[in-house]
Amino acid sequence: MNRSVSGTLSIPALLMTLVATFLAAWLTLGVFGRSDQLIYLWPLTGLQLGLLLPLWQRDWASVLARQAAGAAGLIAGATVAGLPPGIAVMLGLINACEVFLCGWIVSPAVVTFDDLKERTHVLRFGIAAIVAPVIMGSIAAIPVAPVTHQSFLHVATTSVLSDALGIVIIMPVVLFLTSGEYRTFKKLRPYLLRAILTGIAFVVTAVYVFWQNQNPLLYIVFPPMVIMVLAMGLEGAVFSGVVLTIVGGTATSLHHGPLWLAVNASAEHRMVLLQLFLIVSVVTALPVGALLDERRREARSADEARSIYQTLLQNAEDTIILSSFDGTRRYISPAIKTLTGWTPAEFLAMDRMQTFHPDDRDMARLVMESMASGKRQHVIRYRIAQKEGGYRWVEAVARAYFDETSDTVLGYVGTIRDISSLKQTEEIWQMERETLTREKLAMARLANTDALTVLPNRRAFDDALLRQLSRAAAVSVMMIDVDFFKAYNDLYGHQAGDDCLRQIAQALQSKVGRGGDVVARLGGEEFGVLLPGADADGARRVAESMRNAIWELDIPHQSSPLGRITISIGIANWADIREHDTALLIQQADRALYVSKRAGKNRVTIAGAMPVAV
């Protein structure tokens, strides 16, 4: 329990506590009774407790200061009333301890009057009103019994009863006057007529019962008390307790009322019976009043929540639907009219599946079966029917709800949102994505394609060769060069040179047919061929077919000793490309090409099985 040990001490509050306890002690002991007689009602504990509880959790210094002021006021009042100073001091200390014990039991549950409007808090209050008086009243009887010349048991009994009665009567009154919701006229005004009528009826009944001596009519007060409690709740219970205490105590002390019908009973015995009657009446009325107020508060909260819920449903843009799987419970919010054109009643009258597009009904059945089998939530998109014809795209979030006792799935609650505009946007985005993808692929092809020959370019050739690194297979690489091509360009012109290269590219491409084979233009008149999985003999056969294909093109070339366009080819082959550097493989093929050139051109040369470093 966290309490502040410091706070602002209010001098007026301390003086008020001092004066109030002084007057209460003086009036109780000196005016309405004598210090050597029965104390009918001991108000000091209830008075101080009602003043201190609002501070109990937030200002511990003020609590201690007010307790000290209360003890001082009690000691002064008891002394003025005629008690010996020593006894008065002891009573003051005992009363301070009792206030602390009560506060410790009641706090932190009860700080204001409205805190008593809960059954558990009333129970704590009832325990405090019994335990504290029993303990401290018994202790107080030790010094008081010799002074009053009465037995310890008699003094303890009367002290406990008067103390308990004072707590249950006075503390709620003080809390009501300091923090009650209806202590102001503005708050009480709507209930004023009802309070006045029931209050008058109860007061009249109580006065009649306690001022007549002919019949034992104590039970007559209970019907109007019940009406008071029903009409005013806890406030009615507190009011009825105060009225019964004042009327019953005054009448009984003046020898009036049904308690005087007891034969051979002393006045003190009758007062003890009255105290018991009052305690039982108040202890019965307070929990009933608290229960009624608790139920009314819960009902108000439920009404407010229902009102908020209805307001949200009426104004929500999304449609909210509740449906049991057996169709016995169905609800749909008014937003369905905006969504579909049907009113809620019209929509609920339709077969559930008829609201789905025919192509979406199988999906809807699967979702419902899934929820019925225990899956708690689904998010689906479907087309909902329109009153004017056609369908509209919506998104529904459906959550299963369960029976609290058996955990059986009973139905689902869903929210339906119009996503037709979102769907159109998504379709546009999808078309744009597809267009961008096509453009990206086209750009990728352009970036990897030689514009003149439409063969893969050097980048594509290198990428294909790198991909071979991840494969455990043989590979052959050809480097091809057009013989005397510079002289051809000089003699026939660049346009003829471009046409010549295109014909060569087509001829080379026609001689490979496997999916992994690559024929690429590496630049100028140089071509490269990649033959994955081909050994040296296989590569030679392909190379010879390519050389013959170019020869058979019979493209005239007067600057060539052979009189036509020819090519020279160098081949490099490795059994496992992962064991070598691809750059060395290309270099080996280049060296073989150089050998073909040096040997007279128009020929094929295969490099050694292992590359030789340059």
Active site residues: 525
For residue 353, give both structure tokens. Answer: 């599946």
Give the phi and the psi of residue 378 in degrees, each rounded to 5: -140, 145
The conformation of residue 522, written as its DSSP 8-state character, comes to E
Dihedral angle computed from the Cα positions of residues 139, 141, 144 and 145, in that order, rounded to the nearest 10 degrees = -140
Rounded CA separation 312/334 (Å): 11
Look at strands 567-574 and 604-606 and give their pairing. parallel
556 DSSP assignment: B
Instruction: Count CA within 13 A, CB hemisphere, residue 467.
Output: 13
Per the structure block, which two tokens stand in for 387?
A: 């009153």
What is the DSSP secondary structure assignment for residue 40, as one 8-state letter? S
Report angle CA 553, 555, 560 to the nearest 5 degrees. Answer: 125
- State whether residue 319 is helix, strand or coil: strand
Query: How far is CA 255 from each of CA 210, 260, 272, 323, 604, rounded to the nearest angstrom?
Result: 10, 6, 14, 70, 143
3-state DSSP helix/strand/coil percent for the chain, to nearest 5?
65, 15, 25
Q: Is 253 helix (H, G, I), strand (E, B) or coil?
A: helix
Distance CA 585, CA 592 (A): 11
Residue 117, classed as helix, strand or coil, is: coil
Residue (of 590, 530, 542, 601) closest to 611 by Cα position: 590
> Which tokens hold the place of 190?
């709507």
* Structure-block tokens of residue 137: 């009243």
Between CA 434 and CA 453 the distance in angstroms is 28
- In angstroms, the CA 180 to CA 261 distance is 39
Give the burial string for 368-377 (b: 16+ CB within 10 Å, else e): beebeeeeee
143 and 87 in contact (C-beta within 8 Å)? yes
User: How many Cβ atoms are within 10 Å of 506's Cβ, its own excluded?
Assistant: 15
- Please, what is the Cα angle at 478 between 473 and 480, to 5 degrees? 165
Distance in angstroms between the alpha carbons of the first and the last residue of the chain = 89
- What are residue 382's DSSP bridge partners? 394
C-alpha to C-alpha distance for 6 and 599, rounded to whole angstroms:
110
Task: Quickly count: other Cβ atoms within 10 Å of residue 333's Cβ.
Answer: 22
108: preceding bond cis by omega (within 30 degrees)? yes
Structure token digits, residue 48: 């101080």
